[in-house]
Amino acid sequence: MADPGNSTSITKILVAVGMVLLPLSFACSDGKGKVDPDPDPSRPDSIALSSDSIAFDAIGDTIRVGATVFDQYGDVMTGVSISWASDNPTIALVDQSGLITSVRDGQTEIRAQGGAIRSSLKVEVMQEPDVLEALEGNNQFQWTGFLLPDSLRVRLTDAAGSPVVGTVVAWDVLEGDGTILPLGDQTDLDGEAIAAWVLGTGESGAQKVSAAVAGLDTVYFDATGSAPITLMTAGPLTGPMLDTLTTLLLTRDSIGVPQSGIPIEFRDISGFGEIAQGPTTSDINGELNAGWVLGPTPGPQEMTVVRTDIGAELPLTASATGILDPWPFEVTAPGFVHTCAVDNQGAPFCWGTNEHFQLASADTLPVELPQAVPTGTTWSQIGGGQFHTCGLTTGGATFCWGQGWQTGQAWDSVSFVETPTAVAGGGFQSLHVGGYHNCGIKADGTAWCWGDEVEGRLGNGTLVPTNVPTVVSGGMTWTGLSAGHFHTCGVVANGDAYCWGRGEEGQLGNGGITDQTAPVLVANGYTWTKVSAGRWHSCGISAAGDALCWGEGGTNQLGNGSTADQTSPQIVGGGHKWADIAAGAFHSCGVDTNMKLYCWGRSGYIGIGPFGSSTPVVVLPAYNWRSVDTRGTHTCAISLARETFCWGPNSFGQLGVGNLVDLEVPRILVRGVLAP
């Protein structure tokens, strides 16, 4: 309110004390005396105001000032016209009745004038906040973790009810751990401050925030939060690895009523866990019961439950217990959509697609876990092709099954070999299974191949398919072979490498791009210890320990930083020295002499997540590794501790982990979980 100052009425009292002696003159003729003229008439001499200063603490407030006019004798004069004026009307106005109105903060003077005389008073305006009030946003309902539909709005006014502009309003979360998002740092031209309120996550219940200005009563806002997804399972989520935990979820609307038909997804499941197949929407009671299969990773495992209709998330953590019992495989052989292995007792296992009886099981359904191959013998080697499987027993006998000439049986284009069947003309010391053909090395160092024949992959100088092993041309003594998808490569006794079969992408390494029905020397004069034939490219290790690749390079599978095809061996980048190498369909992998595992090539295939690389990148876990193998798009590796890991596409269960989920990072193959 305005605060008038102390007024001082100046009363002028004129005291004339004197004696005027008027000399008497006597006119003789008339006898009368003469008197002086009247005094000066009254005129305005000063203006006295009822206040010499006024202070306003509100905008639009008023106070009237009085003015009194005195004449030269100090007497009050009436009827004198007074005019009023403000030196700065933007700070304070005055009307002609002396009513002063505050306009904005500042100082000015108000003048009163009557005729030629004037007087003034000082006016100071300094607005002070008086009331903070809530305008809207109180008592709302919303899902926890979500933005309230209405903003919180407060207004700050002074004692006259005028808006106070430019004042900071302090917002604070008192209950519920939510978040306040002020829409501006200060009150606006209407004296208002607005904030958005995101309710805190967690359980349903009351939440509260405050808005405050120093020296004034605090304003409070209340809201009720409803958890959009709630875990109803009692007690902690814990269980042995590979067990299925019951995960009961409840969905509610924004006012807390259970909702049916709400779509639910499960994302970011760690530890190789998964959700067992079940309902994907809440039932009539708003509930959904999901089976959380814990992965083969001890300790905490995490998962995010997502309501896809509103994007609400509920993070869950479970504790996986127990000790893994890994498969003790000595040899793994990834085919194209199935995989086989031999364990430490010489028993053969296969898994993945069985469409052509590649698994030697009674039906053609895919198998998602390692399954024993029905045989009474022990095995030293096994390999998977496109439609077939072959193995070598410890006694040197070769068995094959599946479909095609490559099974070692006469083929009528439709029949299958449903169980392991001996291949005539065996006696191999090593066996190498390709996409549609096989090769083996006998004790005398001769190489023999059989199977479907296109583009010269059998290496006998013809294009005639055969189910009987036939000697590879050239009369050389072989120390190693690798049967790829459409071509074959090998190393002879003097360390030279040869390839034959399809050559269109440069995979034969002889500098050309034509098919060859007999072995041709790999160019560049290296001495080789190992070669690996993939789908359209080849890789090898030189006697110096360098890795080299050649052929198709469009998915970075050559490892030299380029996607160009190469018709002769090119050094793989990284400067490593290598102990093992494998060429797949669109990628390659190797183990260096420090027993670290590396891969390079197509995104999602090289074991490092959804990424690719044009040069070798290390694959985790950082174990010591003894071997790695790939033929098609998936890969398996065996650690020095005889633990087998696989990764890549898994549409037929070829990874052997119990599901059909593709894996972009290695996962261990386990028989079960032992009690801790």
232-280 residue pLDDT tens? 998 889 999 999 999 999 999 999 999 999 999 999 999 999 998 778 9
Q: Decide if 439 contacts 452 (C-beta within 8 A).
A: no
Taking only Cα atoms into account, the Rg of the chain, rounded to an integer number of angstroms, comes to: 49
Q: Return the structure tokens found at 509.
A: 């390494």
Beta-carbon contacts of 221 under 8 Å, excluding residues fewer than 6 positions away, are: 134, 137, 138, 152, 197, 208, 209, 210, 211
Q: Decide if 568 contacts 537 (C-beta within 8 A).
A: no
Partners of 131 in the beta sheet?
157
Beta-carbon contacts of 376 under 8 Å, excluding residues fewer than 6 positions away, are: none
Predicted structure pTM score? 0.75
In whole angstroms, what separates CA 446 from the centre of its chain? 56
Residue 405, helix vs strand vs coil: helix
pLDDT tens-place string over residues 502-539: 999 999 999 999 999 999 999 999 999 999 999 999 99
Strand pairing category for 192-198 and 117-125? unpaired
Output the CA torsion sign for 146, 150, 156, 159. negative
Partners of 348 in the beta sheet?
342
Q: Which domains are seen in the chain, by residue range?
A: 3-10+43-125 (2.60.40.1080), 131-226 (2.60.40.10), 230-321 (2.60.40.10), 329-674 (2.130.10.30)
pLDDT-derived band at 33 (thresholds 50, 70, 90) equals very low
* CB-based burial, 32-46: b 16+ in 10 Å, e otherwise: eeeeeeeeeeeebbb
Percent of the chain with pLDDT over 90: 87
What distance in Å separates the CA atoms of residue 523 and residue 569, rounded to the nearest whole number?
7
Looking at residue 632, the DSSP 8-state letter turns out to be S
More confident site: 32 or 496: 496
pLDDT confidence of residue 419: 95
Q: Decide if 538 contacts 583 (C-beta within 8 A).
A: yes
pLDDT tens-place string over residues 103-141: 999 999 999 998 889 999 999 999 999 999 999 999 999
Evaluate if residue 12 carries a pLDDT over 80: no
Evaluate if residue 630 carries a pLDDT over 80: yes
State the average pLDDT for the chain. 92
